[in-house]
Amino acid sequence: MSVQSVSVQEEMLSELRQCWREKFGGEAELCAFAPGRVNLIGEHIDYSGGHVMPLAISLGTYGLARRREDKRLRFYSLNFRGIGILEMADGSLQNDPRDHWSNFCKAMLQTLREAGYSLEGGLDLMIYGNIPSGSGLSSSASVELLTGIVIKALWDLEIDSVQLSLLAQKAENQFIGVNCGIMDQFAVAMGRKDQVLLLNTGTLEYDYAPLKLEGCKLVICSSNKHRSLGNSAYNDCRRECEKALSDLQKRFKPLKALCQLSPDDFNALQSAIEDPICRQRARHAVYEEARTLAAFEALKGGNLGAFGRLMVSSHASLRDLYEVSCRELDFLVDAALEEKSCLGSRMTGAGFGGCTISLVREEGVTDFIDHIGPKYLAEFGYAADFYPVTACEGARVLAL
Ligand code: GLA
């Protein structure tokens, strides 16, 4: 079990600079950071036109970069030192497992090119991240957006952060092959310090509200269970929602997305969905949408008790209706809710492993971690990690 301090920027940057001199030599032209994200509520509805409420967090990916005169690409990650420098000719880029993590960078380069941006020459990019990989805190979106803002700055591209996040999602969908929604890339690009984001994934309209957690903290707990089989199960959930939508459209043509339905409308129409599993998935989507809108109002109004209760019902729905939780996440949520200091807790992200997020009274955070950590270790034989988090600024260029 470990409690991570979030102010590690200087340490990581100085290691990165030193490594740059050793491995790449000469000077970097640019320094940048892209955060990870945690979703407060609005889970598994960003591909059903729903609202989501993510934060960019202080864990993320730092990068140093420079353009090259030749057409070569060189990538190095301090997180995978054993892999060494990944070097390739910048021709037509393809997803190649031998290129390991750098596929996320290649994906971004290629997607920007396909969008019509001409990127002459090559690139040296060195990264160092502190998002635990496979934790469901969007380490891949973080690397994609880091690459995106590095390229934008080095080639002086005219592209705003929303467009960049859409291209990052396209990179993930088409180049990497994960059929994700827009939440992660949008949150990583558009997060704001001390603000919570409310994004309508159907229209891309968005709003911010101050994250007023008077007397409380948000605590991420990583189950350290890797999201094995996550991608295929994720794609199954998407398909089940699409099937539910197409059944509903037979009865109600104008419907464009599941989350346009109110719970009452859904209850009136639900018998049109033939398959009971698809009906269950759709029920989650419709009610999660209502919970998310209510949660945004609760946070704006400082009603943390109501917000916490919505988190708890969101978890129950993801566990029972959407079936994307797992024993480890349920255990962490149950253990969190046994703590008097905890106002709400739920799994966050895609599920099948990964993290929970809990709202905990500040004075109870130490006990919260001290109680749950050993219980989890005793149950599963390996430790969970705890990260108190705040809302941070989205992907950005830093001083060199
Ligand atoms: C993953 C996907 C997102 C979203 C979440 C679940 O993080 O990348 O698009 O669907 O799962 O809310």
Question: Max CA-CA distance within the chain?
Answer: 66
Q: How far is the CA of 395 from the centre of ligand 1 (A)?
A: 18
Looking at residue 2, its pLDDT comes to 40
Mutate to test the pocket of ligand 1, among 53, 180, 347 (most ligand atoms within 8 A of CB): 180
The number of C-alpha atoms within 13 Å of 321 and in the hemisphere containing its C-beta is 20
Looking at residue 229, its pLDDT comes to 52
- Structural contact between residues 35 and 192, judged by C-beta atoms closer than 8 angstroms: no
Beta strands in 211-311 (DSSP E): 216-222
Q: How far is the CA of 348 from the centre of ligand 1 (A)?
A: 9
- Would you say the CB of residue 354 lies under 6 angstroms from ligand 1? no
User: DSSP secondary-structure letter at 17?
Assistant: H
Looking at residue 135, its pLDDT comes to 87
Mutate to test the pocket of ligand 1, among 37, 44, 291 (most ligand atoms within 8 A of CB): 44
Say how many C-beta atoms besides its own lie within 10 A of residue 44's C-beta: 27
For residue 348, the SS3 value is strand
Q: Does 184 qualify as catalytic in the annotation? A: yes
What phi-psi label fits residue 218: left (phi over 0), alpha (psi between -120 and 50 degrees) or beta?
beta
Q: How far is the CA of 44 from the centre of ligand 1 (A)?
A: 6
- Would you say the CB of residue 51 lies under 6 angstroms from ligand 1? no
Q: How far is the CA of 281 from the centre of ligand 1 (A)?
A: 15
- Would you say the CB of residue 288 lies under 6 angstroms from ligand 1? no
- Would you say the CB of residue 54 lies under 6 angstroms from ligand 1? no
Q: How far is the CA of 349 from the centre of ligand 1 (A)?
A: 6
Q: What percent of the chain has pLDDT over 90?
A: 91
355-399 pLDDT tens trace: 999 999 999 999 999 999 999 999 999 999 999 999 999 999 999
Looking at residue 4, its pLDDT comes to 42
Looking at residue 230, its pLDDT comes to 59
What tokens does 104 get? 């996320």
Q: How far is the CA of 140 from the centre of ligand 1 (A)?
A: 12
- Would you say the CB of residue 184 lies under 6 angstroms from ligand 1? yes
Please pick, among 90, 124, 184, 385, the residue that the annotation labels catalytic.
184
3-state DSSP of 82-131: HHCCEEEECCCCCCCHHHHHHHHHHHHHHHHHHCCCCCCCEEEEEEEECC
Looking at residue 241, its pLDDT comes to 98
Q: What is the mean pLDDT of the chain?
A: 95
- Would you say the CB of residue 230 lies under 6 angstroms from ligand 1? no
- Structural contact between residues 26 and 49, judged by C-beta atoms closer than 8 angstroms: no
Q: Please state the atom number of ligand 1 nearest to the C-alpha of residue 182.
A: 9
Which residues make beta-bridge pairs with 73?
88, 123
In 3D space, the residue among 329, 326, 241, 238 whose CA is nearest the CA of residue 283 turns out to be 241
User: Atom 10 of ligand 1 has which residue's CA nearest to it?
Assistant: 44
Looking at residue 228, its pLDDT comes to 59
For residue 159, the SS3 value is coil
Determine the Cα–Cα distance for residues 117 and 299; give it in Å rounded to an integer.
Answer: 40
In 3D space, the residue among 55, 62, 59, 56 whose CA is nearest the CA of residue 6 turns out to be 59
Which residues, including other chains, have CB under 8 Å from residue 13's CB and lie 6 or more apart? 31, 62, 398
Q: What separation in angstroms does the CA of 157 have from each of 35, 149, 164, 188, 342?
A: 21, 9, 11, 19, 46
What phi-psi label fits residue 220: left (phi over 0), alpha (psi between -120 and 50 degrees) or beta?
beta
Say how many C-beta atoms besides its own lie within 10 A of residue 83's C-beta: 15
Q: List the chain residues with pLDDT less than 50.
A: 1-6
46-84 pLDDT tens trace: 999 999 999 999 999 999 999 999 999 999 999 999 999
- Would you say the CB of residue 284 lies under 6 angstroms from ligand 1? no
User: Atom 2 of ligand 1 has which residue's CA nearest to it?
Assistant: 180
Looking at residue 91, its pLDDT comes to 73
Strands 396-398 and 30-39 turn out to be antiparallel
H-only helix segments in 212-275: 230-251, 263-269
Say how many C-beta atoms besides its own lie within 10 A of residue 300's C-beta: 15
Determine the Cα–Cα distance for residues 157 and 153; give it in Å rounded to an integer.
Answer: 7
